[in-house]
Chains A and B, each alone.
Chain A
Amino acid sequence: MKKATFQFVLRRLLQVVPVVLAIAAFNFLLLRMAPGDAADILAGQMGHATVEFTEQLRREFGLDRPLYQQFFIYMGKLLTLDLGMSHLQQTPVVDLIVDRLPATLILMVSAILLAVIVGICIGIAAARRQGRLADNLISVAALLVYATPAFWLGLMLIVLFSIKLDILPSGGMMQIGAGHEGLAHVLDVTWHLILPATTLGLFYVAIYTRLMRASMLEVYGLDFIVTARAKGLSEGVIAWTHAMRNALLPVVTLAGVQIGHLLGGSVLVETVFGWPGLGRLVFDALLQRDLNLLLGILFISSVVVVIANLVVDLVYGLLDPRIVHR
């Protein structure tokens, strides 16, 4: 059992390698497709865009070499996590990203936890009241939320909770100048996290609610539910143990697929709330036309998705005893 799990993890880790390589190659392709290369941009920004100077830069960057050599140089650099310099901020792209990644991960993990937990609970509640008023109200609410643009929802939540009611902060990750330490710092960040995490998570709450409801109804039709009833278990226990454990499986699968989508959503939500993460960095990079930085973010966020998918697969293996042995 332990050994099988280990082999499973190893196999999945090996599958990640070609995907990361492919993403790197894709990045190179995008870089080559951009009109004007790094030398043009940099020379332009430095103010002396003479042909000689640009050529000199091009030699320095290795842009005068044949394409395949450039490709291998690029790949070599990427694999050592050298994503080049951010042309405007004059900082290695990797440093900028590593600096911002934790904030994004905090936001994403909170949003996905919120979505999974709340979505599962509401979905179960709806399935147990199938066809009744509560179930119908939940379905309508889910449809509405599902159609709401997250960034707009964020703005409306700011209007309601920050501007009108004045009970939650409208942006940022911590109170500026307060200099909280320890627990006070954690609480401060949590306080600032409530609105952005809700904004980002609500869309997925709707998705998981719908999925969990459908999944529960399907599981309720299976024979082992009858067995559980015949054993004398109460409906509550059956719903929250026997039915839920089985109904979770498709939900977890979907959570894996959704992580990339979630990262995209966090770009918008971070922009709305001034949350200092990767998404906000995307916005800054756009304002400054910093292509190198943008591509670096695309690469790193893709790698994050690949790793997150690996984690989801492991969770699935824990939930479904049948999976490891296949």
Chain B
Amino acid sequence: MRRLATFWLRYRRNRGAVAGALALAVILALALLGPILYPTDPFDMVGRPFSLPFDRFPLGTDVAGRDILAGILNGGRVSLLIGVLASLSATIIGVALGAVAGYYGGRIDDLLMRTTEFFLCIPSFVLAVVLVAIFQPSVVTVTVAIAVVSWPSVARLARGEFIAHRDREYVQGCRAIGMPDWEIILLQIMPNALPPIIVVSSLMVATAILTESGLSFLGLGDPNLVSWGYMIGVARTVLRTAWWMAAIPGVMILLTVLAINLVGEGLNDALNPRLRKR
């Protein structure tokens, strides 16, 4: 409880982060409750195509007469879901590998470092495209593809943290009393190594949302679900006559990513005060 209070005190000092948290709360509420309170199917043709915003429908209709507001609300669900799941999976993979490599060192560590260097050479978005294309687009394949291209940075960070902690006195003490390695890794070092990892994986949600929007813009989204990138892709063909159709979902992506980045910086200030220089 006390820790939570100091956390909030530190977080609150970053005004941008507070604004970001508020914006993110609104976006989350829209995505979660929106489709319930505004139950129009985003794939239904509800009216004449190209109806202007604030006319018959709050945000107008798209090229096929589908309600854009319904698309924004449902698309938000998909974007946030994939963003959070992909970041979470990448964090779990990255932390698991990084922890083992950092704690044990030696050959395992070498292998991991080679692998992450290797992944840094492969253009991550192109790899994500290839993976989704091979396994057919769906929420699962898109999530997995983004996680596969994202885990190396977490692994590097986790490795560094574990290397920094593995020879500390409290860890040596645990070893001396015969605590098994998994217990030391999970229960002793992990809580200390987690703060910077939480910051990075929260920022990774933003990157994942950007990647997802790019994939679905290229037509690599789940064909059964609406997403913001897909809406921009559809609107692209009518840019000359109805630019707002592409503008609206883009603004949503921008706001969401901005809010997450601000929250991430706030978390950094609150969780890693020693890293904060300016």
Contacts and interface: CB of A to CB of B under 8 A. Distances in A.
Consider the complex of A and B and state whether they touch directly, i.e. have CB atoms less than 8 Å apart: yes
B202 to A, nearest CB: 14
A298 to B, nearest CB: 5
A267 B261 contact: no
B120 A257 contact: yes
Contacts of A109: none
B239 interface: yes
Nearest to B256: A147
Contacts of B232: 149, 151-152, 155
B250 A149 contact: yes
A263 B123 contact: yes
7 smallest beta-carbon distances between A and B, as pairs: A264-B125, A152-B250, A147-B258, A263-B123, A147-B257, A260-B123, A159-B243
Contacts of A255: none
B236 A272 contact: yes
Contacts of B130: 30, 294-295, 298
B129 A267 contact: yes
Interface of B: 16, 114, 117-118, 120-131, 133-135, 206, 210, 213-214, 217-220, 229, 232, 236, 239-240, 243, 246-247, 249-250, 253-255, 257-258, 261-262, 277-278
A73 interface: no
Contacts of A319: none
A33 interface: yes
Nearest to A299: B122
Interface in A275-303: 282-283, 286-287, 289, 291, 294-295, 297-298, 301-302
B250 A23 contact: no
A268 interface: yes
Contacts of B261: 143, 146-147
A260 B124 contact: yes
Contacts of B131: 30
Given A148-B254, A291-B134, A261 B217 contact: no
Contacts of A148: 250, 254, 257
Contact of A302 (B121, B220, B277): B121
Given A144-B258, A146-B261, A265-B125, A155 B246 contact: yes
B123 A34 contact: no
A26 interface: yes
Given A264-B126, A286-B129, A156 B214 contact: no
Contacts of A287: 219
A149 B123 contact: no
A286 B127 contact: no
B123 A305 contact: yes
A26 B162 CA distance: 28
Contacts of A86: none
Nearest to A278: B126
A155 B236 contact: yes
Contacts of A23: 118, 121-122
Contacts of A217: 278
5 contacts: A19-B117, A152-B254, A153-B250, A268-B217, A297-B126
Contact of B250 (A156, A282, A298, A305): A156
A147 B254 contact: yes
Contact of B218 (A159, A257, A271): A271
A173 to B, nearest CB: 19
Given A147-B261, A151-B217, A302 B239 contact: no
B20 to A, nearest CB: 10
Contacts of B254: 144, 147-149, 152
Contacts of A268: 125, 214, 217-218
